Amino acid sequence: MTDITQSFSDHEQIPLKDYAEKAYLDYSMYVVLDRALPNIGDGLKPVQRRIVYAMSELGLSATSKHKKSARTVGDVIGKFHPHGDSACYEAMVLMAQPFSYRYPLVDGQGNFGSPDDPKSFAAMRYTESRLTAYAKSLLSELGMGTVEWAPNFDGTMKEPCVLPSRLPNVLLNGSTGIAVGMSTDIPPHNLREVVSACVRLLEQPKATVADLCEHVKGPDFPTEAEIITPSEELATLYETGTGSVKMRAIWEKENGEIVITALPHQVSPAKVLEQTAAQMQAKKLPMVEDLRDESDHENPTRLVIVPRSNRVDVEQLMNHLFATTDLERNYRVNLNIIGINGKPQILDLRNLLKQWLTFRMETVTRRLNYRLDQVVDRLHILEGLLVAYLNIDEVIYIIRHEDKPKPVLMKRFDLTGTQAESILELKLRHLAKLEEMKIRDEQDMLADERDGLEKILGSKSRLKTLIKKELLADAEKYGDDRRSVLVERGAAQALKEEDLVPSEPSTIVLSKSGWVRAAKGHEIDPTSLNYKAGDEFQHSARGRSNEQAVFMDSRGRAYTLAAHTLPSARSLGEPLSSRFNIQPGEHFMWTICGASDRKIVLASSFGYGFVTKLGNLHGRMKAGKAVLTVPAGAAPLCPAMVETTEDATIVCATSDGYLLAFPLSDVPELGKGKGNKLINVPPKRLKGGEEFVVGVTVMAPKQEILVWAGQRYLRMGAKDIEHFRGERAKRGRKLPRGFQRVTKIELAED
């Protein structure tokens, strides 16, 4: 298909795909260059530039009276910006919000939004506005031949392509924008710091980004909140032009309460309270009792968090809130700007300032040349006026009597057309009042100015000095102290679920059918609880509500649940099979609860075992975690808790009345496995089921154990155990008559 064909009506036709492609590319370029990205010169997008220029044309300077915003917006969209009035007004409001702009360009009266809701501003017919003093830095050189002018949308007027900014506004107020295939996120900076960096670059053109970072230490947002990004990361950000900045709220402890006095940039106090309240309602913040917003005119930000008691670790609590709410916020940085070549580009700090200084030099050069031309022209006219003064009578005579005095004056006094016109433009009475002294004084003054301008224009160093002086003067005029403090802090960590749960004594009760429940306190008798028909007590463990409960099945696999998630002991509980996938034919035998670093002894009825940490049994899998390798025909024994490892003794007992005691240190510490032989039982008797290990326990030197034989028990202390001491894996010794059918051994309770 040819690209262009002729139709019967003599209209050009192009293929739809070519038209669509061109239309999309045109739109994309319009968005990039004329809507989304700021210009490096004045740091403004077209709509912002048009608003500022239109307001200056309306005479809305910082010293004038405020005028209705609707009037201004009407002027902007009528003359320069043919788009929606609401979008234009929104752009104007943004430039007036002191919590959005570091150095606002518009001074607004009325409701211009609040940090809670920046878009809650009043309609334009209710607000009034004018330019701020800072806006003068963009406009003061406008009529000095410094800018290129372009026709407006309908060609009836001209508008400036870029405002002649005296300061690098692109960095001072920052900018955000989403274009097609690219975006920009430039944070605001401190005026004094940026000017200081510009001066450094003027004095040392080879200064590196690291050198400039000595002056520009980081962004400076219009809030007192802390910037907690490490200086190395900030340096990398300025090296590459991309990165991120992290801000954190300022808080202090006041009468046992947490008072937040500053929030990160554009964070809504109401949103923070909502996020915190949501956690409280979900019972994920038990250490907080109350929330209040005490913000007023004197304290723009004052959020109060009341801890439940004075025992609450407020540092840990705030750390959690930083991690889970907007009290800590991350800001993306992408220094994407339309450079002096008119193309979008991501710039590092050095190139950005270098390009702006190039723009500034061009602007100042144009301003000086414009002024030089004015001075030269005026000197030329003054020469003509001096001639007229010296020959005043003759000049008046010629003007009065000649029909065309201009050529006569030019011929008689050797004047140029410009000089002759300037004489003729003066009224005769003014002409007669010309004074030689005044003319010569003005000539001398202008001649000095001309010489000064020519010197500056003829010397790069003088031009740089002038720019430096102007920058420092503006820094003095518009600059202020840094607002966002730079403080390096560690990353915030959200509290784990178990940390958020109150630590209360809890007793985990397991039934033979594998039903589980948790009772408050350690005083409860688990055997006295009600069980469903055909079910009875199997095992119990004492722990705390913020710990993990571990259940062990007959294969030696461990299953983990948070203790606080278990049903109350007032009910019959719930089956563990609903929470876990246990293998057919297997059943739950034991439960353990305690701190993850607590040591326990795991053993099988064949006499093999090892020491491990309770944390090694924790897992998330519904199918459990293989911990104890149980030989065929054997079963896992009740895990023995280790109170202390110093001088601890492990005691093993067999069903045939053999008892063996040896140091716990002889047992290896493993993560999982079969373990080592603890007590020797003849293999034939094991396989025949005639004898097996009934239990192991660990006792400290001052503790006692109970050896049970049916309903009878034997209490044994450290002295009694000495008789049964031996080496690990030995047979041990027989217990006294009457206790040779051992059913279980356990630690004696005081």
Q: What is the set of active-site residues?
A: 126
**3-class DSSP assignment, residue 717:** coil
| Phi/psi-derived region of residue 594, left when phi > 0, alpha when psi is between -120 and 50, beta in every other case | left
Using CA atoms, how far apart are residues 402 and 95, in angstroms rounded to an integer? 61
Closest to 548 measured CA to CA, from 629, 451, 623, 616:
616
Using CA atoms, how far apart are residues 435 and 428, in angstroms rounded to an integer? 14
| Contact (CB, 8 A) for 242 and 346 | yes
Say which residues have a Cβ less than 8 Å from residue 122's Cβ, sequence separation at least 6: 110, 111, 112
Determine the Cα angle at 194 with ends 193 and 196, to 5°: 65
Dihedral, CA of residue 212, residue 216, residue 219 and residue 224, to nearest 10: 170
DSSP per-residue codes, 562-626: EGGGSPBTTS--EEGGGTS-PPTT--EEEEEEE-TT-EEEEEBTTSEEEEEEGGGG----TT-EE
Question: Can you list the positions of beta strands (E) in 63-125?
Answer: 67-68, 106-109
Using CA atoms, how far apart are residues 192 and 671, in angstroms rounded to an integer? 60
Closest to 629 measured CA to CA, from 736, 555, 535, 724:
555
The count of C-alpha atoms lying within 13 angstroms of the C-alpha of 93, restricted to the half-sphere facing its C-beta, is 24
Using CA atoms, how far apart are residues 172 and 192, in angstroms rounded to an integer? 10
**3-class DSSP assignment, residue 75:** helix
| Contact (CB, 8 A) for 517 and 507 | no
Using CA atoms, how far apart are residues 316 and 337, in angstroms rounded to an integer? 41
User: Token pair of 331, please?
Assistant: 């800001």
State phi, psi for 556 to the nearest 5 degrees: 90, 15
Q: What is each CA distance from 17 to 5, 9, 59, 181, in whole angstroms?
A: 15, 22, 49, 20
Per DSSP, helices labelled H in 458-516 are: 460-478, 497-500
User: Token pair of 278, please?
Assistant: 């949501």
Using CA atoms, how far apart are residues 423 and 381, in angstroms rounded to an integer? 8
Say which residues have a Cβ less than 8 Å from residue 551's Cβ, sequence separation at least 6: 510, 516, 558, 559, 560, 561, 576, 580, 588, 590, 591
| Contact (CB, 8 A) for 589 and 623 | no
